């Protein structure tokens, strides 16, 4: 099997992640405006003509855009990680019952990703890292990514479950606070994913160069 060439795909993923991070940042600013609007309503102050409809429309459009970007980035990242993992001689994981598909999916299953994919992460690091310092750095980044992914998923499910259909303005305000917290975490998650893609892509490139020498 010929090895996959991942450099172009990694650049596309980084571009998508950057667009996603910028979109989330802009939507975060809108959420702050939305929070001030509903706080104004709690204080009994009148809304501007059409302001309520405008906020509802922007909320729907912004949510759909960001959700689409998140799903696209996640699928691209998983596909890239699968290709990267297939480029590794996976004898150790195959002996333990892992395949490239199950190893990659194990990284993104909440709770399970904190326990299952240790062998996968170790194999990726051992195959592409040159120095012990780089190995420790990469493992720490991947561990932080797994934990952050679980936190983002759990917080997202909590917000959807608790605040999808709020019954009062105070619940709307509370839901916006949670949403702002989630968006801040996700911006960090997006940039951390970019760092991981850049790091592993560079290490894969170095490994290919070393094999040619």
Q: List, for residues 3-38, the tens digit of each pLDDT value.
A: 667 788 888 999 999 999 999 999 999 999 999 888
Q: What integer pLDDT is reported at residue 53 of this predicted model?
A: 87
The answer to whether residues 138 and 129 touch, using CB atoms and an 8 Å cutoff, is yes
Tell me the three state secondary structure of residue 48. coil
The answer to whether residues 31 and 183 touch, using CB atoms and an 8 Å cutoff, is yes
Rounded to an integer, the average pLDDT of 54-64 is 88
Tell me the three state secondary structure of residue 14. helix
Rounded to an integer, the average pLDDT of 51-59 is 87
79 burial (CB, 10 Å; 0-12 / 13-18 / 19+) is middle
Rounded to an integer, the average pLDDT of 73-80 is 86
Distance CA 205, CA 6 (A): 9
Is 70 or 101 the better-scoring residue by pLDDT? 70
Distance CA 36, CA 10 (A): 39
Q: What integer pLDDT is reported at residue 91 of this predicted model?
A: 44
Q: Is residue 120 predicted with pLDDT exceeding 70?
A: no
Q: What integer pLDDT is reported at residue 5 of this predicted model?
A: 75
Distance CA 48, CA 54 (A): 10
Distance CA 59, CA 65 (A): 10
Rounded to an integer, the average pLDDT of 167-176 is 82
* Range with the poorest average pLDDT among 24-33, 36-45, 54-63: 36-45
**Average pLDDT score, the chain:** 79
Q: What integer pLDDT is reported at residue 108 of this predicted model?
A: 67
What Rg do the C-alpha atoms of the chain give, in angstroms? Answer: 21
Is 83 or 205 the better-scoring residue by pLDDT? 83
Q: Is residue 99 very low, low, confident or very high in pLDDT (cuts 50, 70, 90)?
A: low
Distance CA 44, CA 38 (A): 10
Distance CA 186, CA 25 (A): 10
Q: What integer pLDDT is reported at residue 93 of this predicted model?
A: 47
Tell me the three state secondary structure of residue 46. coil
85 burial (CB, 10 Å; 0-12 / 13-18 / 19+) is buried
Domain residues of the chain, as ranges?
7-212
């Amino acid at each position: 099997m010929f090895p996959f060439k991942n450099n172009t795909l990694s650049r596309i993923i980084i571009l998508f992640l950057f667009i996603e991070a910028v979109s989330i940042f802009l939507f975060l600013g809108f959420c702050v405006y939305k929070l001030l609007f509903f706080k104004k309503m709690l204080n009994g102050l009148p809304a501007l003509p059409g302001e309520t409809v405008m906020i509802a429309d922007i909320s729907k459009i912004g949510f759909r855009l960001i959700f689409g970007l998140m799903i696209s980035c996640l699928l691209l990242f998983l596909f890239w990680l699968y290709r990267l993992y297939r480029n590794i001689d996976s004898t150790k994981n195959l002996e333990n019952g892992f395949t490239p598909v199950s190893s990659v999916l194990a990284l993104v299953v909440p709770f399970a990703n904190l326990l299952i994919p240790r062998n996968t992460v170790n194999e990726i690091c051992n195959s592409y890292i040159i120095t012990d310092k780089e190995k420790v750095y990469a493992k720490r980044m991947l561990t932080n990514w797994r934990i952050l992914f679980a936190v983002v998923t759990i917080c997202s499910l909590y917000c959807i479950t608790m605040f999808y259909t709020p019954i009062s303005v105070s619940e709307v305000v509370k839901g916006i606070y949670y949403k702002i917290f989630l968006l801040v975490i996700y911006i960090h998650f997006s940039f951390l994913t970019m760092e991981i893609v850049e790091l592993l892509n560079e290490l894969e490139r170095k490994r290919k160069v070393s094999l040619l020498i």
